[in-house]
Each structure stands twice: as C-alpha cells, then as structure tokens.
Amino acid sequence: MAASKLPVVFTHLQSAEARPRRTADVPREQSFSFQVPLTPFPWQAWFAGEEKIVSPAIPGNAYLFDLSNNPTVGLNAPFSTVRLNISQSVLDALADEQGLRRGGGLHARSLGLPDAVMHGLARTIVAAMERPEEVTSLFVEYVALAFHAHVLRTYGNIPLASISNRGGLADWQLRRACEFFEANLDGDPSIADVAPECGLSSSYFAKAFKRATGAPPHAWLSIKRIERAKQLMNETDLELAEIALACGFVDQSHFTRTFVKRQGCSPGRWRRRLHRA
C-alpha cells in the first residue's frame, strides 16, 4: 500500500496451514495492538508469560492488546486477521491536536468486543492490499485518520461531549485545498501535505473537507481525475494510456476500472459515444 505520513501500522496476517505456532515475545513498549479477525479461529494467549483462557477469535470483534504486558498468541489453525498498531505517544499527540484531555491509554471491558467500525476498516485495508500499486497516500491517510478517531472515542476513555464538532472549511481554505489537489492530479498528494496549506491539522482537515464537499479527500480527487480525463478525451486525440498517466492513474487498466465504476461504461465507449453525438 502507499506509505502514510501518519503514525499507524496496518498488517494483514494470514495462513492456510494448520500447524502449531506462537508469536515472539514483545519488547516492553507503551503501545497498543488491535487484532481484527476476518475468519474465525481458535487461539491461546499469554500475558506477561501467564496463560489465560480466551474464546475463539470471531469476525466482527476487535481484540485490544496492551503491548507493555508482553502479550503473545498461540495458533494451531488457519487464520486471517488484520493487526493495527498505535503507540501511546501518538495517542497523546492526537489528543493534544484535537484539544482533548489525554486518556491514559486504551481500555476494553474484555478481550474481544463487537466493533463494526474496526471490522469495516480491516476489510477495507485488505481489499486495498489486493491492488497496492493503485492505493494513494490520500486513501491510506484517510483510513489511518478514521482509525485514530475511532480509537480515541471508543477505547480512549474520552467523553463524546468533549470532542470538538466544529464546522467545515472557510472559503479560502476550501479553495486552497481544491487548487492544491487539482494541481497535483498526476501525482500522489497527501492529507499531510495539504492540511498545513490550510493552517489545519490532518485530522481536522480530513473531517472538514468531507463536511464541505460531501466526499473524503481521496474520493473527491478520484472524481476530479475522471472529470479531467473526460475533458482530455473530448478536447484531445491523446491515447487512453496517455490520458491515464496525465490524470494520476497507475495505468490504463486502473483508469478503466475507476471510470467504469463511476460512469458505468469504459473510457473508450464513452469517447465513441461522445464523437457520435
């Protein structure tokens, strides 16, 4: 996947084999890990070297591990799970950035709680990993910000009422952001690049931009790339492969898949219809 400038690590762990294995000891650190299973599987768990009875992992649940407690896991079955890691220092920085009190770590009532948001993020991450060359920095950062926000609200002991619910972007900020993205249609702009242009933090910018435009930054950019591609197909004789690269798509296949998804037909068919009209 594209590299994110935001401090969160996503990993898809899977195996089709049924054989005994156990994770290595975790160096003592002030960090937290979420395991989000995509398939059910039995497992064992040790905390600070002491085994505890745990129920089988269930898709739809999220399992929070405090890495300062040296959690290790034993498996003897096929599995598929997404691991999402975040450090205490990042949690503190996120709270400070949003004007929230620091929550003193992450907490869950038990090991394994239903969490539809985390499960949805995990599925989104895995789907994106199937075509890593097509994943943009905007998309990765938006997923990371969604994870950050959900973690603070659900596991950070921060009251919902204390979370700022400010409005969208000022006119000049929206104009500046749109100009920045449109000037970089053929590149890989990131939230971390454009937010300072508007004098905002990444987390606030992402929420405010969606509130102002109705679409998250990566989706808005995709729409603009399609609009630019349609303009080039209408006004130039460029080959579709050239148009794809000029509009920031990885290649013509990526361009075609995105165009069909949004327009309901291939770029070539759209162009032929246009010229027959």
Q: Is the pLDDT of residue 3 over 50?
A: no
Of residues 159 and 35, more confidently modeled:
35
Strand partners, 81: 13, 37
Of residues 158 and 271, more confidently modeled:
271
* 161-215 residue pLDDT tens: 444 455 678 999 999 999 999 999 989 999 989 999 999 888 889 889 999 999 9
Tokens of 32: 């937290």
Q: What residue type is 111 in one-letter code?
A: L
pTM for this structure? 0.79
Residues spanned by CATH 2.60.120.10 within the chain? 9-161
CATH fold label, 9-161: Jelly Rolls (2.60.120)
Residues spanned by CATH 1.10.10.60 within the chain? 219-276
CATH code for the part of the protein at 165-214: 1.10.10
> What integer pLDDT is reported at residue 273 of this predicted model?
87
- Please report which residue ranges of 110-162 form alpha helices under DSSP H: 116-129, 137-155
Strand partners, 249: none
Among 136, 144, 139, 215, CA closest to 174:
215
Contacts of 150 (CB under 8 A, 6+ apart): 117, 118, 121
Q: Which residues of 97-136 are buried (b: 16+ CB within 10 A; e: fewer)?
A: ebebeebebbebeebbeebeebbebbebbbebeeeeebbb
* 228-250 residue pLDDT tens: 999 999 999 999 999 999 999 98
CA Rg, the chain, in Å? 22
* 123-144 residue pLDDT tens: 999 998 888 888 888 998 888 8
> What integer pLDDT is reported at residue 50 of this predicted model?
93
- In angstroms, the Cα distances linking 219 to 77, 181, 216, 224 are 38, 12, 5, 9
CB atoms within 10 A of CB 202: 23
233 burial type by CB count under 10 A (0-12 exposed, 13-18 middle, 19+ buried):
buried
The highest-level CATH class for domain 219-276 is mainly alpha
Q: Which residues of 2-13 are buried (b: 16+ CB within 10 A; e: fewer)?
A: bebebebebebe
